């Protein structure tokens, strides 16, 4: 068959004329937001809506600020900048030499919130905090890159906490800081004949112990480090009203130096 030629649209009589000046609409749509205290290295970060971020170049401007792209490392130095005068941000002609990171602002904010919460709630597990913050902060429409990697975040949160904690004791002659022990758990610091034992139990555990008719004693060594030697524990056997479904429940813990 012969190829048929598609009918051409009729040429319009009036060709619309382009305006003399075309606004750079794309750059007009970029929005900027300054967030303080998001990283340890710089106090303020400027985020744009495209997924680029900038830090202030110190001493660059008398009026306003010059922000330069955060991607400046051994492998890559991006020279893109944004000039700020008051609330007006103008992107420089120099383009970024790397892809934008959509969601980076949310990712950094979630990370910051998790770290903060982990420091404030020292007895709550990092994964529980991460789940709580992610549920509160992330919206379904956020790109996947807004989500920090949970296991990396748990590791960095625990590292932050570790830096705050008192140093691990190297010998038995240390002061116990009860602020780092959950409330109503530490019972007694027992020093006897050169040995030291720390006794822990909740009120409920003590009640169970008092009511128990048979108990079981156990010592474990793996979970304990110097200067302590063993974790000694008392377990009670608890059953239902008929004495069936008996379970063994730990009711007291002792860090023992021997």
Q: How far lies 117's CA from each of 122, 126, 145, 160, 242, in Å?
A: 8, 9, 22, 11, 45
Nearest to 89, CA basis, from 64, 61, 72: 64
Q: Please, what is the minimum distance in Å from the beta carbon of residue 76 to Zn ion? A: 8
Q: Which phi and psi (to 5°) does residue 224 adopt?
A: -110, 140
3 state DSSP class of 22: coil
Distance of alpha carbon 74 from alpha carbon 26, whole angstroms: 31
Pick the closer one to Zn ion by CB: 82 or 110: 82
Give CA 89 to chain center in angstroms: 30
Pick the closer one to Zn ion by CB: 66 or 181: 66
Question: Sign of torsion, CA 199 202 206 211?
Answer: negative
Pick the closer one to Zn ion by CB: 41 or 139: 41
Pick the closer one to Zn ion by CB: 98 or 258: 98
Residue numbers at the binding site for Zn ion (CB under 5 A): 69, 71, 78, 80, 96
Q: Which phi and psi (to 5°) does residue 10 adopt?
A: -65, 145
Pick the closer one to Zn ion by CB: 55 or 202: 55
Q: Please, what is the minimum distance in Å from the beta carbon of residue 77 to Zn ion? A: 9
Q: Please, what is the minimum distance in Å from the beta carbon of residue 79 to Zn ion? A: 8
Overall residue count recorded for the chain in this entry: 258
Q: Please, what is the minimum distance in Å from the beta carbon of residue 51 to Zn ion? A: 10
Q: Please, what is the minimum distance in Å from the beta carbon of residue 107 to Zn ion? A: 17
């Amino acid at each position: 068959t012969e190829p048929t030629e598609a009918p051409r649209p009729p040429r319009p009589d009036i060709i619309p004329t382009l305006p003399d000046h075309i606004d750079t609409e794309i750059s007009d749509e970029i929005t900027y937001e300054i967030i303080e205290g998001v990283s340890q290295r710089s106090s303020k970060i400027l985020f744009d809506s495209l997924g680029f971020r900038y830090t202030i170049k110190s001493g660059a401007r008398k009026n306003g600020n010059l922000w330069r792209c955060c991607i400046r490392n051994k492998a890559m130095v991006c020279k893109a900048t944004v000039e700020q005068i008051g609330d007006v941000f103008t992107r420089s002609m120099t383009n970024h030499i790397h892809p934008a990171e959509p969601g980076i602002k949310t990712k950094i904010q979630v990370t910051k919130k998790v770290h903060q919460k982990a420091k404030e709630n020292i007895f709550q597990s990092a994964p529980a905090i991460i789940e709580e913050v992610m549920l509160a902060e992330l919206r379904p429409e956020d790109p996947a890159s807004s989500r920090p990697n949970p296991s990396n975040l748990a590791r960095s949160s625990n590292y932050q906490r570790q830096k705050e904690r008192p140093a691990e004791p190297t010998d038995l002659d240390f002061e116990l800081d009860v602020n780092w022990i959950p409330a109503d758990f530490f019972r007694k610091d027992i020093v006897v004949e050169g040995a030291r034992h720390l006794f822990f139990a909740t009120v409920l555990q003590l009640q169970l112990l008092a009511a128990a008719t048979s108990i079981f004693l156990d010592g474990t060594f793996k979970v304990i480090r110097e200067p302590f030697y063993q974790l000694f524990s008392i377990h009670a056997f608890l059953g239902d009203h008929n004495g069936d479904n008996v379970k063994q429940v730990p009711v007291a813990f002792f860090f023992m130096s021997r």
